Structure 1
Amino acid sequence: MSTQRQRTARPIPDPKDPAETVAIERPWLRRAGLLSLLAGILPIVSLLLQLNASSGIRNDVANVKTVGQALSAYADGTQGQGLRGEQAEIAAHYGDHALTITLATGLGGLALLFAAPVLYGLLRSSWRRRPSFPRAFMWAPVVGAVLFAVGTTAAMAYGTSKMADFAALPAVQQTNAAASDALTATGDLSILSIASVFGQMFVAVGLGAAALSAMNTGLLTRAMGVIGVLLAILIVVPLIPRQEFLRAFWFLALGAVLLGRWPGGRPAAWEAGEARPWPSRAQMLEEAERAKAAAAGGASADDDAAPAPKPKAGGDRRRRRK
């Protein structure tokens, strides 16, 4: 006769002491707010540098020779062993701006490294108020930020170095074949690409979990929580171009909340040291109905207690005169 072991449910630990939670988080809020502001500012600077590096590429492409012109140059012996076209012009342009592109990528990675401790702190603050998920889960944004920042920055530095080498070649050697090798050089470092992909996934999980748990415990408003979850989904499914620009504004808003500079101040859960969940729509409707009923009851009581109007003295005088 076989016996099945019943699995006992693991009890959820009690929330931490509110006073202790507030004392721990008070010095952290200022540091986290400043880091969040940096995590929002650096992607904007990175985007501006990328736009600056790509600004003159249309002028370079406009100077590309047609196939007939390239064949004529090749026949004259001035083109070299290959044809020069748009691909070569793009590689040469990016090679001339290799330092700017590498710096822009590095700033984007540095922004994620600044954001990682902020997301970790949000998850930890939510856990203190509602310890219902494994603590190891908090390290997702940290691991993801390191993998993604190192992977993308190293791969871009390697790729731009190859494009810079291409730009330094004599014009007769800047063929489309050589340009293709320079533009696809990052494919040689597959380990960095894998690290970037896994880092991106971990960052998405960490951002979504931090926004959702902070919203459920009342540390963030519903609007900021929902937007944070949507931004996490967009990391994995990039439906919007330049989404890092939207993510930058979210971290700027988060920094203002943590520093207490957001209109209305921080949510009450920060000062209370315990979870203060936002009321659901059903609860809000119920509260509105209750307030409406209370107001109607008060109005009827006032009507019952109101004294009867006194007769005017002038009416009696008129009757006497008649």
Structure 2
Amino acid sequence: MPQLQVRDDDGGRDVAQIPPVDTEQERRYGRVAGTLGLLSVVATFAALPIGASDVGRQAGAANDRTFLLDVGGSGGGQVAALVLRSLGLLLVIAIAVFFYRAIKGRNPAHSGLIAVAGSVSAVIIVACTVYTFFQVRDIGREFVDSGPRTLDRAQDLLEAGRQESTRRVVNVVQGLAGLAFGVWVSLTSLEAMRVGLLTRFLGVFGIGAGLASAVGIPVAPALFIAWIGSLATLAVGYWPGGRPPAWDSGRAVSWDEADAMERSARTARREEREAR
């Protein structure tokens, strides 16, 4: 488990010498960023029923043919779902910027490249997703509007689309952007955990979610949504049992110090009850 390591860029100051963060200003920014982060989660979930409602139930087993029949026959619902998914990912940039500022204020050595990687990769993923969606939708409409609606033709059309030069470049770029995005999730979790902004559990969970996103594990989107929702809740100012003490202190708080503070608080509450 990584320990708290906070140094200035020149290595000349330790944790105690770093000026504390303006927590009031951070709370104001946090409420805005956290609200946008929660809206990201809402938009992502809202896209699911909207997209599903616009897809017809084709007869037969699910295959390339039924897929193209669904896509080619879809209307504005699929576009609306795409907009919501894209919006949900772009809103994550607010969380990336806010947590960069929060970590940087407690650890001046924190690199801005981490937040840049997360923000830029989110934009690239959205752009690639939009391109792929409309390319596949055009293939689906070609399949529905003309020619035989056979499985072989559906497979040929989809394979031709995958081999199209622009699509191949887009796939490579999207894969690299997904890798960068996963690295951002993991590094943000690690650095936020080191300065005490995240609990051990949430920090380790975020590292795992980032790794899952980087390698494209199917469960990665669900893990990411849970992670971003948790960070947004912390940014707004709430957490079950209270936020870690680094938020209120405006400085980095090691895990040992946080544990000691919690023990002292429990002792004070117990003594107060006994004195009544």
Deviations 1:277-302 (A, max 9, x none): 2229xx88xx99xx9xxxxxxxxxxx
The separation in 1 between residues aligned to 2:183 and 2:88, in whole angstroms, is 17
- Structure 1 residue aligned with 2:42: 41
Instruction: Go from structure 1 to structure 2 and tell me whether the alpha carbon gap of 1:118 and 1:33 turns closer, same or farther (over 3 Å shift).
Output: same
- Structure 2 residue aligned with 1:233: 211
Asked if structure 2 preserves the Cα contact closer than 8 Å seen for 1:41 and 1:252, the reply is no
CA RMSD of aligned residues (A): 2.9
Instruction: Go from structure 1 to structure 2 and tell me whether the alpha carbon gap of 1:100 and 1:265 turns closer, same or farther (over 3 Å shift).
Output: same
- Structure 2 residue aligned with 1:120: 97
Alignment of 1:91-106 (within 5 A): 91-97=68-74, 99-106=76-83
Structure 2 spans left out of the alignment, 5+ residues: 1-8, 268-276
Asked if structure 2 preserves the Cα contact closer than 8 Å seen for 1:33 and 1:259, the reply is yes
Structure 1 spans left out of the alignment, 5+ residues: 1-9, 65-85, 292-322
Alignment of 1:86-235 (within 5 A): 87-97=64-74, 99-169=76-146, 173-184=148-159, 185-188=161-164, 189-235=167-213
TM-score by structure 2 length? 0.78
The separation in 2 between residues aligned to 1:100 and 1:166, in whole angstroms, is 19
Amino acid of the structure 1 residue aligned with 2:69? A
The separation in 1 between residues aligned to 2:115 and 2:11, in whole angstroms, is 17
Asked if structure 2 preserves the Cα contact closer than 8 Å seen for 1:98 and 1:163, the reply is no
The separation in 1 between residues aligned to 2:249 and 2:163, in whole angstroms, is 52
The separation in 1 between residues aligned to 2:230 and 2:85, in whole angstroms, is 18
- Structure 1 residue aligned with 2:227: 250
Amino acid of the structure 1 residue aligned with 2:37? S
The separation in 2 between residues aligned to 1:98 and 1:13, in whole angstroms, is 61
Query: CA offset at residue 13 of structure 1?
Result: 6.0
Query: CA offset at residue 271 of structure 1?
Result: 1.7
- Structure 1 residue aligned with 2:60: 61
Greater than 6 Å deviation, 4+ residue runs: none
Amino acid of the structure 2 residue aligned with 1:34? T
- Structure 1 residue aligned with 2:272: none
Amino acid of the structure 2 residue aligned with 1:262? W
The separation in 2 between residues aligned to 1:187 and 1:49, in whole angstroms, is 30
Deviations 1:232-261 (A, max 9, x none): 01112344x343223222222222222223
Query: CA offset at residue 150 of structure 1?
Result: 0.8
The separation in 1 between residues aligned to 2:256 and 2:49, in whole angstroms, is 41
Other structure's SS at 2:96 match: helix
Identity %: 24
Count of matched residue positions in the alignment of Structure 1 and Structure 2: 249
- Structure 1 residue aligned with 2:3: none
